[in-house]
Structure 1
Amino acid sequence: MAQPTWALFMTGFTSAEMSPMRSIRREDGWFVKAMPDGQAYPLDSGLAPIFREAGVTTLPAALKYSASKYGSKPCVATRKLIKRETTEKNGKKFEKLQLGEYTWQSYSQIQDMALAAGIGIKAQGVAPGDRIIMFAESRADWFVAAMGCLQQRITVATLYTTLSDTGIVHGINETEAAVVFTSYELLPRVTKLLPECPGVKTLIVMEDQLEGVGDTKNVPKDLTLIPFMELLQPPENLIVSAGNPEPEDVAILMYTSGSTGNPKGVELTHKNILTSVIGFSVQTDVGPDDRYLAFLPLAHIMELATEVSLVSLGASILYSSPLTMSSAGPKIMKGTEGDAKVARPTIMNTVPLVLDRIIKGISAKVDKQGWLKATLFNKAVKNKARLSSIPFTSFILDRMMFNQVKAELGGQLRRMLCGGAPLSPETHKIIKAIFGVTLQVGYASTETSSSTTGMDMDDDRIGHCGAPILSVMMRLIDWEEGNYKITDTPRPRGEVVVAGPSVCKGYFKLPQENEANFVDEFGQRCFRTGDIGEIDETGAIRIIDRKKDLVKLKHGEYVSLGNAESKLKTLPFVENICVFANSSKGSTVAVIVPSPERLRKLTSEIGIREDDSDENLCADARVKELVLQNLNAHGKKHGLNRWEIPADVSLSLEQWTPDSGLVTAALKIRRKQIGNFYQNMVLEMYSRID
């Protein structure tokens, strides 16, 4: 398959066919991306020729360049909010939204708004080198505000909206930010935390379409509150000079949700993120005709780098949320279609848990249509890749089986990008079959600007994360304790080490963490990821373990908790799972959040009453035994050893959401927090098997 024109233009290469080699191991031991002719890409500075020629060395310069090139072309879109209904149940408020069509803003408009936002924030006394806090949901205003601040050489510190109150206060106070950007939805929460953040002097509130900034009666009188649209209209006689940011300036101070302790601020420069932008452009065939559905948090580097990339490529971004993306979304009012159906995206970012939920939602709907249709559908999914080699078969299967499912995501989706956590091969295969899309899996971290490895567009294999992307150098080093070595055959294994211009400046105000994770070795400044990789014969990597997830049981056997979880959660009735191991014990145990509907189907064979409550279902010893039998069979089928398969299990109806603090914003489990939450349950399971 030929490389896309844009990739050739960005890199300066003009030849056609991809080599079977995805990466090349250089003489100095570093793996780097392979060129179409099978040779190693020369390591660029991270800035492609097209950007260098246009003088693009910072993020706002990339927006300015695109505005000059694409002008009146649609850039970002926001869906019209028509009506909101709020109900209360058991002390909790639930919201339903009636939504209309998307309304657009052009590239030129977004650039003008960003310039105005920069002038407005400078007028509040924020100086170059200062930091502001961005604490809001993903939306066009978030992107505009961030670009405006960056134009004035002001660092944008991002906080996930799902962080704990303690984490939010920590981020605000550690950055010494005097200005906080937030939203109508989050203003009550910010207001509640302000007494613990004495340095905050100004709140800038992104308005709701119906309610404006909302209720401000609890905002302290000595604090300035500015509606975002008002910020974009500074006094006409105000003179503000440009900040002139530099490539090595810290553009984004991104607080990670983390699995333990306070969130850590990762310092990302303009050059770091632009390197990721270029890598994305080369890996992915995206251009001005593409429509991107944005529903992941912009406070996550994968989403932020992707949106900057899309703007650089002239694509259109339509904003959504996980709660309104599908027609079955919890905030979608009856009679309103989900965002994806209206937006009709051609490309999406996603994470494994979202894909698993899509598959389980589809399976549940198909099951309701009867045994025969469910059987035919499942066989079609299983065999589509093999049958597609027969002329017209794929077209017929789509027409008969899959087009209705595709319509739920707009019917025009052609490419998905997946990161944030390991994706099981089974999930990868099913998504490709159902939606007929190219699903490119990548591997990276905030510390590497979401830029480490990624699957090539022509790679139809599953079960790996691709090779190093442009400008990234990667190598493996031995991890003796886990018995992973680069001399392992047939494939080298070890801890993944990353170098190159995408590696961040470091952790904010954490010198000991910097010393432990960022090291000068092999002639480079490197980031030690803590992940264990295995490199195949084509130079592609598979993440097989994580140092923090590897536990040694009392008899000396090592158990990979993450590996066990990624395989066991593909069971239809498993919504989420956390496996626990203790070095003083000889077995593992697990807590599972089941799908009650799928669990009932599983247990119908053992005589469970249909009118029995979900709570009784989860507590029934017969149900637990049946779940254990299924876990055992499924685990063995997917290559787990007997120590990795839980010896006991508990079922919990508590949903693991970012709001509960049990998973991160990228929906990865927070092992320590889950362990604390279910401490008594885990102790009880171990007491039963000791």
Structure 2
Amino acid sequence: MKGRFYARTVCTTDLNKMSGKQGVLDRKGWYVKALPSGDEWPQDLSLAPQFKQARVDTLPGALKFGVDKFTNKECMATRKLLARQRETVDGKIIEKLSFGEYTWRKYSEVLECVELVGSFMFELGFGIGDRISIFAETRADWFISAMGCLQQRVAVCTVYTTLSDDAIVHALTETEVKMVFTSCEVLPRLSRLLKRCPNVTRIVVMEDQLDGVGDTSHVPESVSITPFLQILNSGKVNPSARLVNPKSTDVAIIMYTSGSTGTPKGVELTHHNIISSVVAYSCQMQVDETDRYLSFLPLAHILELACEVALIALGITIYYSSPFTLTSSSPKIASGSEGDSILARPTYMNSVPLMLDRILKGVSQAVERQGRVKKAIFYAVVANKQWLDRIPFLGKFLDGLIFRKVRAELGGCLKRVVIGGAPLSSETHLNFRAIFGCTLQVGYGSTETASCISGMVEEDPTTGHCGGPCLNVFLRLADWEEGNYKSTDKPFPRGEVLIGGPCVARGYFKRPDETKETFFEEGGERWFRSGDIAEMDNLGRVRIIDRKKDLVKLKHGEYISLGNAEATLKTLNVVDNMCIFAESTRDKIVAVVVPVLEVLRKIATNVGFKDSDMTLEHLCQDTCVNNAVLKALQAHGRRCGLSRYEIPAAVRLTAELWTPDSGLVTAALKLRRKQLGQQYRDMVRDMYTCLGD
């Protein structure tokens, strides 16, 4: 195989031999990344030596490890739901929730709940080789259910609640699960689909705090219903259930990808795969038992699941939230009720770039209302924050004077944010870090590698990359001739990212042909072809520059990275989301943009509209407004250093929000290009017709 530029942090793929140190392979072409802390990871933070000593090699083992160390410490926190009501906002009926304080389960209580679930599964006869599915939003009960099943060597098939009906049915049918753990909130939807899933004979419903299990009248008579609290309130654990010991080679999770390119695929991940990621995270997160973590990303995503396992092993308290209740301005927070982050006061959270962009746009809209002078001061400080912080006491003074109220919306204690799922623009990285006074660690991973490939170290002040390879990860760049990316490129090697090591999954569930195409064995290692194109600098840091499926060659022979251009252009305040379209028979690219209404109304006023309450649909159809957004987008692209080929020549606005429910983005909020292309086919054709291209 062509290409011989590699990076790795340890020599061994045996978790029992991992010491937390870097290793150097005496082989031509190997490269070991440099670390600010020298040739060892901080031993007090790394779980590698601790797991080795305690012989932890499974996910329930990692939970037990945390419980033994932090028995009486708060482990999982959930807010008390006080009331539910419905309000009309911009013509749409939205559910509004009123919350009380957070309540906790201690570490010992979490383990007790897990063992009760495990005993329930044991008494029903579930064991090695069986599978169940979890179809529920992120919550403490999700984690407890998964761990209880894994204790009994039952594989957990995770399904995003935001997948399409067909995708959900596909996942439940392909895995032939007999039992589904679900929640009151999504039970109505699951009830409609159960007739298409004849294998499912039992559902366990995680109750709503106000409505209990909810309406079960539409559940087929052939399906039995078990309330989750009934399991937890049984109060007894079958002693025989405690004798079951999962193996590191067992398939722990069959995780269905969000399907950005087609039908979701189930990725088979063993305990060994996920524990390797857990250990790698512990080396880079630099957290301790005083930290507080805010969880709102889907636990059905491997990044969130592996991260929470690591945090529990490290003694962190996890506060559960959702993207709809995160801040006081979140869409489901009722008037007079505070957002989750204000009460949780997190020091650490995971996020995706789209969430950060939306938070910053909310800040921008609030600043716009402060007047011209205050706005100018605010943005001047943001732009120069990294230099102002070097002046003694000035940085802290400005934090208290200018950013205190903004930071309070996320609790006021945020120290670090880990970013994954999509590229993060340098502008968003710098602005979020300046405004919220925290570090941003961009990571790179995939479901097929248990989310573990590379990650930034916290001390790194630079942007535009996703750090060096994680602990115990091989990273190799293979030449891609068609795209003209080679490992011999100067000044830095480029190519398709290939990943090897213990994090690499067994393959795709029931898809031997795709498994054979994507995974391979070489040099005693299992490897995964990512399809991502990366450049690696002289410190071994990875910068994703393209993706094979996102790369389009225009008529003049120039390659355009759609994802890179979108990540940059989405930082413009009027853009909520966007998709760039390009055809190989054309010389230019075009874009469809989902606008931010409040900003769009200001643009409309500037081009002569006097009706400030004009609807989003009307504004999106107006030619003058579309042209004004196009000019703003083109100017922004030039300021950000995009080439003329990466800047859209035409733009159309759409009033349709792109949500997972619409099928236009995945559950991880990635664009589904095929579906978007079908949805806006006529609009794209009209743009090219007007361009005469």
Cα 1:557–1:26 shift into 2, 3 Å: farther
Cα 1:407–1:88 shift into 2, 3 Å: closer
Q: 2:640 aligns with which of 638, 641, 644?
A: 638
What CA distance in whole angstroms lies between the structure 1 residues aligned with 2:415 and 2:459? 13
Cα 1:433–1:35 shift into 2, 3 Å: closer
Cα 1:467–1:635 shift into 2, 3 Å: same
Task: State the partner residue of 1:5.
Answer: none
Task: State the partner residue of 1:390.
Answer: 391
Q: Which moved more, 1:55-64 or 1:613-622?
A: 613-622
1:108-187 matched pairs, under 5 angstroms: 108-187=108-187
What CA distance in whole angstroms lies between the structure 1 residues aligned with 2:557 and 2:180? 51
Cα deviation code 1:252-296 (max 9, x no counterpart): 110011113211001111111111111111011111111000000
CA RMSD of the aligned region, Å?
Answer: 2.1
Task: State the partner residue of 2:283.
Answer: 282
Structure 1 residue 660 displacement after superposition: 1.4
Task: State the partner residue of 1:510.
Answer: 511
- Partner AA of 2:72 in structure 1: S
What CA distance in whole angstroms lies between the structure 2 residues aligned with 1:65 and 1:422? 34
Structure 1 residue 620 displacement after superposition: 1.7
- Partner AA of 1:365 in structure 2: A
Kept in 2, the 8 Å contact 1:63–1:311? The answer is: yes
Kept in 1, the 8 Å contact 2:33–2:539? The answer is: no
Structure 1 residue 666 displacement after superposition: 1.6
Kept in 1, the 8 Å contact 2:47–2:283? The answer is: no
- Partner AA of 2:80 in structure 1: K
Task: State the partner residue of 1:319.
Answer: 320
Gaps of 5+ in 2: 1-16
- Partner AA of 1:576 in structure 2: N
Matched, 1:361 2:362: yes
The residue matched to 2:120 in structure 1 has which SS? Answer: helix
Structure 1 residue 90 displacement after superposition: 10
The residue matched to 2:334 in structure 1 has which SS? Answer: coil
Task: State the partner residue of 2:306.
Answer: 305
What CA distance in whole angstroms lies between the structure 1 residues aligned with 2:90 and 2:389? 51
What CA distance in whole angstroms lies between the structure 1 residues aligned with 2:484 and 2:317? 47
Task: State the partner residue of 1:17.
Answer: none
Structure 1 residue 639 displacement after superposition: 2.3
Q: TM-score, normalised by structure 1?
A: 0.94
The residue matched to 2:644 in structure 1 has which SS? Answer: coil
Cα 1:36–1:587 shift into 2, 3 Å: closer
Matched, 1:677 2:686: no
- Partner AA of 2:385 in structure 1: K
What CA distance in whole angstroms lies between the structure 2 residues aligned with 1:237 and 1:594? 54
Task: State the partner residue of 1:7.
Answer: none
- Partner AA of 2:537 in structure 1: D
- Partner AA of 1:685 in structure 2: M
Cα deviation code 1:529-579 (max 9, x no counterpart): 111111112111111111101111122221111111011111111111100
Cα 1:32–1:228 shift into 2, 3 Å: farther
Structure 1 residue 37 displacement after superposition: 7.0
- Partner AA of 1:420 in structure 2: G
Task: State the partner residue of 2:245.
Answer: 244
Q: TM-score, normalised by structure 2?
A: 0.93
Task: State the partner residue of 2:50.
Answer: 50
Task: State the partner residue of 1:583.
Answer: 584
Kept in 2, the 8 Å contact 1:32–1:469? The answer is: no
Task: State the partner residue of 2:417.
Answer: 416
Cα deviation code 1:403-456 (max 9, x no counterpart): 111100001111111111000000000011001101111111111111100001
What CA distance in whole angstroms lies between the structure 1 residues aligned with 2:568 and 2:426? 9
Cα deviation code 1:79-138 (max 9, x no counterpart): 000111135789975211110000000000000110000111222232321000000000
Task: State the partner residue of 2:557.
Answer: 556
Task: State the partner residue of 2:332.
Answer: 331
Task: State the partner residue of 1:210.
Answer: 210
Structure 1 residue 518 displacement after superposition: 0.6
Q: Which moved more, 1:391-400 or 1:134-143?
A: 391-400
The residue matched to 2:129 in structure 1 has which SS? Answer: coil
Cα 1:181–1:90 shift into 2, 3 Å: farther
- Partner AA of 2:211 in structure 1: E
- Partner AA of 2:270 in structure 1: T
Task: State the partner residue of 2:572.
Answer: 571
Task: State the partner residue of 1:232.
Answer: 232
What CA distance in whole angstroms lies between the structure 2 residues aligned with 1:90 and 1:443? 37
Matched, 1:599 2:600: yes
Structure 1 residue 378 displacement after superposition: 0.5
Task: State the partner residue of 2:99.
Answer: 99
Cα deviation code 1:317-336 (max 9, x no counterpart): 00000000110111111100
The residue matched to 1:643 in structure 2 has which SS? Answer: helix
What CA distance in whole angstroms lies between the structure 2 residues aligned with 1:465 and 1:118? 38
Cα 1:286–1:637 shift into 2, 3 Å: same
Structure 1 residue 644 displacement after superposition: 1.6
What CA distance in whole angstroms lies between the structure 2 residues aligned with 1:649 and 1:235? 61
Q: Which moved more, 1:611-620 or 1:273-282?
A: 611-620
What CA distance in whole angstroms lies between the structure 2 residues aligned with 1:415 and 1:236? 40
What CA distance in whole angstroms lies between the structure 1 residues aligned with 2:133 and 2:88? 31
Structure 1 residue 613 displacement after superposition: 3.1
Task: State the partner residue of 2:14.
Answer: none
The residue matched to 2:204 in structure 1 has which SS? Answer: strand
Cα deviation code 1:595-644 (max 9, x no counterpart): 12112223433212234332222222222222222222222222222222
1:28-43 matched pairs, under 5 angstroms: 28-34=28-34
What CA distance in whole angstroms lies between the structure 1 residues aligned with 2:505 and 2:385? 42
Task: State the partner residue of 1:439.
Answer: 440
What CA distance in whole angstroms lies between the structure 1 residues aligned with 2:162 and 2:26? 42
What CA distance in whole angstroms lies between the structure 2 residues aligned with 1:395 and 1:427? 21
- Partner AA of 2:460 in structure 1: D
Task: State the partner residue of 2:59.
Answer: 59
Structure 1 residue 13 displacement after superposition: 6.5
- Partner AA of 2:221 in structure 1: K
What CA distance in whole angstroms lies between the structure 1 residues aligned with 2:310 and 2:371? 44
The residue matched to 1:405 in structure 2 has which SS? Answer: helix
Structure 1 residue 35 displacement after superposition: 5.7
- Partner AA of 1:537 in structure 2: N
The residue matched to 2:79 in structure 1 has which SS? Answer: strand
1:396-475 matched pairs, under 5 angstroms: 396-475=397-476
Cα 1:293–1:131 shift into 2, 3 Å: same
What CA distance in whole angstroms lies between the structure 1 residues aligned with 2:330 and 2:340? 9
Task: State the partner residue of 1:82.
Answer: 82
What CA distance in whole angstroms lies between the structure 2 residues aligned with 1:624 and 1:203? 49
- Partner AA of 1:112 in structure 2: E
Kept in 2, the 8 Å contact 1:33–1:469? The answer is: no
Gaps of 5+ in 1: 1-9, 15-21
Task: State the partner residue of 2:69.
Answer: 69
- Partner AA of 2:435 in structure 1: I
Kept in 1, the 8 Å contact 2:18–2:52? The answer is: no
Structure 1 residue 64 displacement after superposition: 1.0
What CA distance in whole angstroms lies between the structure 1 residues aligned with 2:608 and 2:420? 41
- Partner AA of 2:98 in structure 1: Q
What CA distance in whole angstroms lies between the structure 2 residues aligned with 1:350 and 1:183? 23
What CA distance in whole angstroms lies between the structure 1 residues aligned with 2:26 and 2:590? 43
Structure 1 residue 678 displacement after superposition: 1.2
Kept in 2, the 8 Å contact 1:31–1:474? The answer is: no
